[in-house]
Structure 1
Amino acid sequence: MGVAITLAQYLAERGVKYDVVEHPHAVTASESAKTSHIPPNRLAKAVVLKGEDGFMLAVLPASAHIQFGRLRKQLGADVDMASEEQIETLFLDCEPGAVPAIGAAYGLKVIVDDSLANEPEIYLEGGDHASLVHISGSAFQKLLADARHARFTESP
């Protein structure tokens, strides 16, 4: 499948250069990082959240976990993970569990963990379980300029 059409169009419209890194099929972001031989702190994973105001994305390193208490406090709202069925209706051109970390491409608000702020390069799911999108850290920051930035994760 490669890069989801919605994501590819969004990146092209903004003039973002990217590479596609193919890897053996992986189910989780951590597995994708491992099979791609990239540091998991440079793989931005997306977690779809549902709250009173609808859906949004939390973007964090594959090496970290969301601290929901901290996240809810940062947002000032009660949010939980969206169901797989809900996610599938939002990301029609993506395989389940391979959500790109660029929520604006899909009309979603985003909160991004501060731990991704200074990475020189970022990888993210492209919409399937066998490829990653590789962009510069500066391009990633520009793509998420309108996102909310906060610290809401912990590393294992």
Structure 2
Amino acid sequence: MAIARTLKHYLDEHHVRYDTVTHTPTETAVDSARSAHVPVHQVAKAVVLEDDSGYVVSIVPSNNRLNLEWVKEELQRDLHLATEPELGNLFDDCDIGAVPALTQAYGLDAIWDDHLKHVSDVYIEGGDHQHLVHLSGEDFRQLMRRLPHSIISASEDYSSWMYE
């Protein structure tokens, strides 16, 4: 699978130009960036959260760590990480752990990180562990324009310094 059918349909429906980048199989978004030889800060990863009101996906640069407290504060929700079985149900055309960062294609709410506001290109998981979908930063921001955004992540160095 080069790209999940739901994601492909969403991109085509919104007339977004994109291409796919094939890389060796990887388990993390940072490893995907390195394997595909693209800047890690341009790979957007999706972190699926939930509470009693439902799911929300946080979209952050792959080289950053999501700060769950910042998301909770921004959205005024008591969120926690969704489980892997839930991910399988939500993204039935994707491999576990390869959630595309354009989760509105799957009807899910999202919040995106302001660190992605000025990148020239964005790469997202295509739905498997061997393909990234490449789109312009402008197209990414256009697709995200109606969604909440804020600083919701920080580099690992900063995150560990803050919370140790």
* Same fold, TM-score > 0.5, yes or no: yes
1:152 is matched with: 152
- How far does residue 110 in structure 1 lie from its aligned partner after superposition? 0.6
**C-alpha separation between the residues in 1 aligned to 2:143 and 2:126?**
15
Q: Is structure 2 residue 51 aligned with structure 1 residue 51?
A: yes
| Residue type at the aligned position of 1:68 | L
Task: Confirm or deny that 1:114 pairs with 2:114.
Answer: yes
Written as runs of structure 1 = structure 2, the 5 A alignment for 1:7-156 is: 7-156=7-156
2-side partners of 1:61 and 1:10: how far apart?
Answer: 21
State the one-letter code of the partner of 1:84. Answer: E
Deviations 1:33-85, CA, capped at 9 Å, x for gaps: 11011111000000111112101110000000011111111111110110000
Moved over 4 A (4+): none
**Mapped partners of 1:47, 1:87: distance in 2:** 10
User: How big is the shift at 1:32?
Assistant: 0.2
The TM-score normalised by the length of structure 1 is 0.98
- Secondary structure of the residue aligned to 2:63 is coil
Give the TM-score of the pair, scaled to structure 2.
0.94
For the residues of structure 2 that align with 1:72 and 1:87, how far apart are their CA atoms?
Answer: 20
Cα distance in 2 for residues equivalent to 1:52 and 1:150: 22
Deviations 1:87-144 (A, max 9, x none): 1100000000000001110000110000000001000000000000000000000111
In 1: Cα distance, 2:82 partner to 2:126 partner: 19
Contact in 2 for aligned 1:56/1:103 (Cα 8 Å): no
In structure 1, the gaps of 5 or more residues are none
Supply the AA of the counterpart residue of 1:95.
D
Corresponding residue for residue 162 of structure 2: none
Amino acid at match of 1:133: V
Q: Which residue identity lines up with residue 116 of structure 1 in the other structure?
A: L
Distance 2:55 2:71 in 1: 14
Q: What amino acid maps onto 2:69 in structure 1?
A: G
Residue correspondences, number? 156
Does the 8 Å CA contact 1:5/1:93 hold for their aligned counterparts? yes
Between the aligned partners of 2:76 and 2:108, the Cα distance in structure 1 is 18
Unaligned runs of 5+ in 2: 157-164
